[in-house]
Amino acid sequence: MRALRIAAHGGLDALQVVDIEEPELGPGEVRVAMAAVALNHLDVWVRRGVPGHVFPLPIVPCSDGAGRVVEVGAAVRGLSVGDEVFVLPGVSDPRGEATLRGEDQLDPSYEILGEARDGLACERVVLPQENVHRKPQRLSLVEAAAFPLSFLTAWNMVVRRACVQPGETVLVQAAASGVGVAVVEICHLIGARVIATAGSADKCARLEGLGVLRAIRYDEEDVVTALREVAPGGVEVVVDHVGKATFDASLRCLRRAGRYVTCGATTGTSVGVHLGHVFFKSLSILGSTMGRRGDLLQIARLMDQGRLSPVVGAVLQGLEAVREGHRLLEDRSVFGKVVIEH
């Protein structure tokens, strides 16, 4: 079958469409014909490589996807041939201690599809039945491919780690990304107020259309000064995935006992921390990676109720278009998610 594969780290040319053997189906597994996959910045890191981290090359990338069940293995329950499904992007040992207590993302066995094992950028995949669920009925297959990783990451940051409360004010850095848009929606669901940053007038306008109090152009305005015009005492929470370029300003935007939560660092991981600011203001710095499988199923229910919605910024056709998708991510030219339709 045809698949996208990365054999060596590099530029866009590292993304190669090749023929690979289709995996066999075992007990408790499901074969899914992929209809669409969505891209994340994680895919860019897998392609480029990360100093000090070893990816299992060659690898089929992409963590997010949706499709149709074409075969079920022995002992599979709740799924039938023809079901339209989405994929849960994290895999863990179902007998692992953290998995059994509902925190599968903390289990030592936890792996993200397309990062630590082959992902979804191929014609068909074989997955554990725990990772395949019927998609929300109100979503198309393209939309169903677009929400899992970004909304799960956002949910874990907002709900589990920062514990955002109704009436609090949250600053979302680089809010036009897939994760950023998801954070905005989840904050509004909770009843929190949102201030956002983005890098263009169009993105700022679209964020304000989503109901943010103020969208700040970080390339034209001083974020701290602009934020204090809306929230003079600072914000309770900053949600960030940018890292080095935004870290100092993010901490300066926090009020006393504020919480800074991060899931990534697209501009660099090495930052300076003035511990005096941290302990004098009783600040919390929180890390977050992925989230609970059960939370993703709750997110899917909220999608079906129309209380959350994925934002798809671009739909491209065919595995060969993944290169263009990576370019769009690197150029930061898309509001929301980039989806590749088969």
Q: Name 47's bridge partners.
A: none
**What's this model's pTM, rounded to 2 decimal places?**
0.94
Q: Report the distance separating Cα 296 and Cα 48, nearest Å.
A: 28
* Confidence label for 333 from pLDDT (cuts 50, 70 and 90): confident
Q: Classify 154 as helix, strand or coil.
A: helix
Cβ pair 124, 137 in contact under 8 A: no
Per-residue model confidence (pLDDT) at position 150: 96
User: For residue 265, is pLDDT > 90?
Assistant: no
Cα dist. 17→1, 44, 66, 208, 225 in Å? 10, 16, 19, 39, 48
Q: pLDDT by residue (tens digit) across 62-110?
A: 999 999 999 999 999 999 999 999 999 999 998 999 999 999 999 999 9
**Cβ contact 3:122 at 8 Å:** yes
Query: Over the range 183-203, which residues count as b (16 or more CB within 10 Å of their CB) and which as e?
Result: bbbbbbebebbbbbbbeeeeb
SS3 label, residue 5: strand
118 contacts: CB under 8 Å, gap ≥ 6: 59, 60, 125
| CA separation for the pair 112, 61 (Å, rounded) | 10
Q: Which residue has the higher pLDDT, 266 or 17?
A: 17
Residue 275 confidence (pLDDT)? 83
H and E: helices and strands count for the chain:
11, 17
> How much is the average pLDDT of 118-132?
97
For the chain, strand residue ranges (E) read: 2-6, 15-19, 29-39, 64-72, 84-87, 90-91, 111-112, 124-128, 132-134, 169-172, 193-198, 214-217, 235-240, 254-262, 284-287, 312-317, 337-341
| Environment class of 38 (CB within 10 Å of its CB; exposed 0-12, middle 13-18, buried 19+) | buried
Residue 242: predicted pLDDT? 86
How far is residue 337's CA from residue 136's CA, in Å, rounded to a whole number?
Answer: 18
pLDDT digits (tens, 9 = 90+) for 157-185: 999 999 999 999 999 999 999 999 999 99
- Mean pLDDT for the chain overall: 95
Q: How far apart are alpha carbons 260 and 167 in whole angstroms? A: 17
Instruction: Give Cα separations from 323 to 4, 14, 112, 317, 330 (angstroms).
Output: 10, 9, 21, 11, 11
